[in-house]
Amino acid sequence: MTDILMPALSPTMEEGKLARWLVKEGDTVKPGDVIAEIETDKATMEVEAVDEGVISKLMIAAGTEGVKVNAVIAQISAGDDAPAPKTSGKNKSSAKGAEVHTRSDAKADAAGGKPDDSATEQKARNDGHRLRAPEQKVAAAEGLHDPTLPEGVTYKKTAVRDALRDAIAEEMRRDETVFLMGEEVGQYQGAYKVSRGLLEEFGDRRIIDTPITEYGFAGLGVGAAFGGLKPIVEFMTFNFAMQAIDHIINSAAKTLYMSGGQMGCPIVFRGPNGAASRVGAQHSQDYSAWYGHIPGLKVLAPYDAADAKGLLKAAIRDPNPVVFLEHELMYGIEFDVPEVEDFVLPIGKARIRREGADVTLVAHSRMVKFALDAAEDLAGHGIEAEVIDLRSLRPLDTATVIESVKKTNRIVCCEEGWRFFGVGAEIAAAVTEHAFDYLDAPPMRVAQRDVPLPYAANLEKLSLPNAQDIVAAAKKVCYREVE
Amino acid sequence: MAAKKSGAKTRKPVSEPQKAELVQFYRDMLLIRRFEEKAGQLYGMGLIAGFCHLYIGQEAVVVGVQSVLDPDDQVITGYRDHGHMLACGMTSRGVMAELTGREGGYARGKGGSMHMFSREKNFFGGHGIVGAQVPLGTGLAFANRYKGQDNVCVAYFGDGASNQGQVYEAFNMASLWKLPVVYVIENNQYAMGTSIARASAETELYKRGISFEIPGEEVDGMDVLAVRKAAAKAVQRAREGDGPYILEMKTYRYRGHSMSDPAKYRTREEVQEMREHHDPIEMLKKKLLDAKHVTEDDFKKIEAEVREIVNDSAQFAQDSPEPHPDELWTDVLVESR
């Protein structure tokens, strides 16, 4: 008897829906036969049998949602009428009962160089640093600067990707000049499914699939912005935007200045930024510091779904070029989003996610999660950490950080990117400059190790910063023993 | 992305130029020539700094093409842009004062020679990165299409830029989406100091659109009337929704690539041959004289008028104050909605 396991169909998949069985118990299958269809948040995939045999049991009913990767979904016996081999250990299976293929084409992932891996990858997926709990609640302190929400406002659980989609859709309904362009944003429904459903609503005049030519379509988008439109340019990931960075900086960010204020460029460049999972060095880089360096740009990097929505809407309305850094590993995570009409947040304001008097933890994007986890851990050690979610890197809300440091006298700057010339370096410098007399310890930084991101699971884990790194740094600035 | 021409207005067809127009072309070309000569002088005097790329020799290209555009069509080019701005109707004073980095310049001194713009005249730069104007101009054409307007964008670039990868990314999308853009390749034979034969595997640049199904043709870029004729066809085609077109203008710059270029990569004879036998201004002048449209006295009058404009702009560019120190901090971001 061989177990067929729920396969991981993308680098970030943790669960999926078993949409349909194409076989029933007692059917004979041979390698290559399609036995089931699985829906992830990104695509519908077909599962093929790898072994020859008879389907002896379907363990998961068709239509079941939330089937965890590596769960046993069916069992297959060795051959026609042959009883299950007695010799095999009860739980020991090859874990290779099935193989997966995308039903449509695998272009999006392949274009990104992302192997659409089969079941062979799934064993190596239990790395501890990845976000595990989609139910992660926002028990955050209210943002200091956000518009006051009405009494009795209700919240809707929304995944980050859907919050982004809602923001785009709302702004497109509101403003005819807003359009979305990028690779696979239309017919494919988005490489990461952020643009799901938009083509159907807005049509191909406003949801535009581009060739895989980042430099060209980024430039075209900037030209369209000069021409009076408000483009949203999606990069499949910001790694690929390096080919377009010339237009982002030289054409979009500088032209207003060079033209003496004549040539505004209202454009949003958005897409996933930072480390994904097991995709190696070229597909895992945090560009926060790169874009944060450039006058003429605004740079946003939200953490949760509410901020993603409110800030993306603000970015689309902003008359300036905005780089909007999302995070692939956050797309599927649900948060409460307030159900208010036109939820727009101010750009350039940090959010205090947790209050504390002993140490300030500053983070943005996915690192906020680790900072919150670290704060929880630290609380167990009697250290009350204040967690500041920057949300906006340019403009940077240094005032909120400095106020916090004046209270806590200690700071740990957390970022997923490299430490050298990084976001943390900037914040540490600002704090040193403006709150020097309040500091009881030198500012510390938690960042990615100074190497290209490795592929191997253990090395990747060693390279990326995590909650424990933040705990250790926080203890250090509090002059507490680090275990 | 179906072609939309709902916002199209009736446009006057481009006709055979009459005497008055021919004289105007002469005058426009002469203004560019004299303006650039003056700019060269001011550069020599240290009043203009940095990079300064003169258009002398290429005047027929921009004057011919602009003569078939309407004021609401868009123009974008690279850094050899002074001629384009004058041909778009931007003032000599504003351009020259930008060259001297003064408050009276089009960008109040913050752009300089290579980065100048005029929203009012639909001139979208003035771009310092080789080839950048090609996707940008294609984007302007995209906006025309999106808004349902029948405007055309003309994107000028050089033989050097024609080897840039982004040019082909833009070609592909322009043809795929049938965008109203005309690509004018100003082939002046030298990409800085590298002759076209030394840099391009295919030196007939009008063929560069073949693999994108963009038709192209070679044009005598020293003959303003040939330029006008070819441009009229290409612009009309784009305006009617038939997509992009490539015009390769065979032209020549008399001066170096920029003011700091001694142009040692070509012979004096080569330059002399172009000046004596193919000069766009002299050729048109001869045509006008032969047709007895204009007398030598008329030409003297035009020359005097043009010199007056140029001298005035040079004076203005020197008298205009440097930008106020507060200008350092303005225009980084659009502050208000």
pLDDT of residue B336: 60
State which residue of chain A sits closest to B169, comparing Cα positions. A216
- In-domain check, residue B65: yes
Q: Which stretch of DSSP H or E encloses residue A256? A: helix A255-258
Report which listed range, A28-42, A89-103, A110-124, A132-146, is most confident. A28-42
Model confidence pLDDT, tens digit, residues A248-263: 999 999 999 999 999 9
CB contact under 8 A, A255 and B115: yes
- In-domain check, residue B44: no
B191 is in which domain, residue-wise? 51-88+121-293
CA trace torsion A38, A40, A42, A46 (10° rounding): -20
- In-domain check, residue B204: yes
Find chain A residues with C-beta within 8 A of B140's C-beta: 223-224, 226-227
Nearest to B87 by CA among B67, B73, B70: B67
State which residue of chain B sits closest to A221, comparing Cα positions. B139
Diameter over CA atoms, chain A = 82
How many angstroms away from the CA of B196 is the closest CA of chain A? 24
> For residue B306, which amino acid is it?
V
Residue that has been written with the tokens 């400095």 in this structure: A402
Q: How far from the centroid of its chain's Cα atoms is residue A254's Cα? A: 29
- 8 A C-beta contact, residue A99 and residue A118: yes
User: What count of other Cβ atoms lies within 10 Å of the Cβ of residue A421?
Assistant: 12
Is B95 an interface residue toward A (CB < 8 Å)? Answer: no
Cβ neighbours for B274, distance < 8 A, ≥ 6 positions apart: B57, B222, B252, B254
Q: Quick check: A12 pLDDT over 90?
A: no
- In-domain check, residue B335: no
Query: What residue ranges define each of the domains in chain A, with the CATH number in brackets?
Result: 2-125 (2.40.50.100), 155-338 (3.40.50.970), 351-477 (3.40.50.920)
Residue among B136, B169, B333 minimizing CB distance to A226: B136
Is B105 an interface residue toward A (CB < 8 Å)? Answer: yes
Is B170 an interface residue toward A (CB < 8 Å)? Answer: yes
Residue among B127, B146, B165 minimizing CB distance to A229: B146
CB contact under 8 A, B136 and A220: yes
Q: At what angle do helices B133-146 and A214-226 cross, to 10 degrees?
A: 60
pLDDT tier for residue A464 given thresholds of 50, 70 and 90 = very high
Q: Quick check: A143 pLDDT over 80?
A: no
Residue A455 has phi, psi (to 5 degrees) of -85, -45
CB contact under 8 A, B173 and A256: no
CB contact under 8 A, B136 and A258: no
Q: Quick check: A142 pLDDT over 90?
A: no
Q: Which CATH number is B194's domain given?
A: 3.40.50.970
Range A38-42 average pLDDT: 78
Range A38-59 average pLDDT: 83
With a CB-CB cutoff of 8 Å, which residues 219-238 of chain B face chain A? none
- In-domain check, residue B241: yes
Residue pLDDT tens, chain B, 337 long: 444 444 456 787 788 888 999 999 999 999 999 999 999 999 999 999 999 999 999 999 999 999 999 999 999 999 999 999 999 999 999 999 999 999 999 999 999 999 999 999 999 999 999 999 999 999 999 999 999 999 999 999 999 999 999 999 999 999 999 999 999 999 999 999 999 999 999 999 999 999 999 999 999 999 999 999 999 999 999 999 999 999 999 999 999 888 888 888 999 999 999 999 999 999 999 999 999 989 999 999 999 999 999 999 999 999 999 999 999 999 999 986 4
pLDDT of residue B2: 43
State which residue of chain A sits closest to B109, comparing Cα positions. A260
In angstroms, the Cα distances linking A22 to A25, A26, B314 are: 10, 12, 81
Range A218-232 average pLDDT: 98
Range A70-76 average pLDDT: 89
State which residue of chain B sits closest to A211, comparing Cα positions. B173
Least confident of A5-9, A400-404, B128-132, B168-172: A5-9
**Mean pLDDT, rounded, of chain A:** 87
CB contact under 8 A, A296 and B172: no
With a CB-CB cutoff of 8 Å, which residues 119-178 of chain A face chain B? 177
Find chain B residues with C-beta within 8 A of A225's C-beta: 139
Beta bridge partners of A234: A182, A270
How many angstroms away from the CA of A396 is the closest CA of chain B? 15
CB contact under 8 A, A296 and B107: no
Active site residues of A: 214, 283
Find chain B residues with C-beta within 8 A of A232's C-beta: none
Is A203 an interface residue toward B (CB < 8 Å)? Answer: no
- In-domain check, residue B125: yes
Number of domains chain B contains: 1
Question: What span, in angstroms and rounded, lies between the C-alpha atoms of A27 and A120?
Answer: 25
Beta bridge partners of A98: A49
CB contact under 8 A, A257 and B166: no
A contact test, residue of B85, B332, B337 with most A CBs within 10 A: B332
Q: Quick check: A410 pLDDT over 50?
A: yes
Question: What span, in angstroms and rounded, lies between the C-alpha atoms of A9 and A16?
Answer: 9
Is A202 an interface residue toward B (CB < 8 Å)? Answer: no
Is A251 an interface residue toward B (CB < 8 Å)? Answer: yes
State which residue of chain A sits closest to B120, comparing Cα positions. A262
Question: What span, in angstroms and rounded, lies between the C-alpha atoms of B38 and B259?
Answer: 12
Range A359-385 average pLDDT: 98
With a CB-CB cutoff of 8 Å, which residues 126-165 of chain B face chain A? 126-129, 132, 134-144, 146-147, 165
Question: What span, in angstroms and rounded, lies between the C-alpha atoms of A194 and A14?
Answer: 18
Model confidence pLDDT, tens digit, residues A293-325: 999 999 999 999 999 999 999 999 999 999 999
Is B124 an interface residue toward A (CB < 8 Å)? Answer: yes
- In-domain check, residue B163: yes
pLDDT above 70 covers what percent of chain A? 86
How many angstroms away from the CA of B151 is the closest CA of chain A? 11
Q: Quick check: A278 pLDDT over 90?
A: no
- In-domain check, residue B325: no
